[in-house]
Amino acid sequence: MVWKPHVTVAAIVEEDNRFLLVEEETSKGLAFNQPAGHLEKGEDLLTAVKREVHEETGWLFEPESLVAVQLWSRNSDYPTFLRVCFSGKVHSFDPSVILDDGIVATHWLTKPELEKLGRLRSPLVMICINEYLNGQKFPLSITQNFLDLDL
């Protein structure tokens, strides 16, 4: 059997020192996360993060940089995730969007507000925010897609 991590994307969106976060249902109760989700078959990373932000928040997202590529597992019985985190801006909010299953609400929170809540989906949420705030940003050209090649 071949072991494979779950590939996910996440978005850091900051406006006026506030971060766009989703409050979502998890197996351990409500938690806060960046808009994030799984890469789908035939989808490139940038398309995936744009789709996830829209589906989870109603905002259109334009990635500007890659912040981190993170490999994480809670423990050996828990799935492993390969999480690709982007930063960028949102525009064109659509209030008619029905948010993904499990998304309870969206919030614009400062870092201190988020730290005070203490209900994060994973430690990667704050790690990515800290890396972003410390200026860790790589050009989007670092991602390459070869989905249409007949090899």
Per residue in 68-99, pLDDT tens? 999 998 777 788 999 999 999 999 999 999 99
pLDDT for 41 equals 93
pLDDT for 146 equals 87
CA angle 84, 111, 33 (to 5 degrees): 40
- Domain extent listing, the chain: 6-142
Are 9 and 52 contacting, i.e. CB atoms less than 8 angstroms apart?
yes
> Which residues does 136 contact at the CB level (< 8 Å), separation at least 6?
67, 68
Output the tens digit of pLDDT for each of the chain's 151 residues.
788 899 999 999 999 999 999 999 998 899 999 999 999 999 999 999 999 999 999 999 999 999 999 999 877 778 899 999 999 999 999 999 999 999 999 999 999 999 998 899 999 999 999 999 999 999 999 999 888 766 5
Are 10 and 34 contacting, i.e. CB atoms less than 8 angstroms apart?
yes
Amino acid at 72: W
Tokens of residue 44, six digits: 């490139």
Q: Which CATH number fits domain 6-142: 3.40.50.1370, 3.90.79.10, 3.40.630.30, 2.60.40.420?
A: 3.90.79.10
pTM for the whole thing?
A: 0.93
CA angle 38, 44, 130 (to 5 degrees): 60
CA distance 92 to 35: 16
CA distance 8 to 23: 17
pLDDT for 74 equals 79
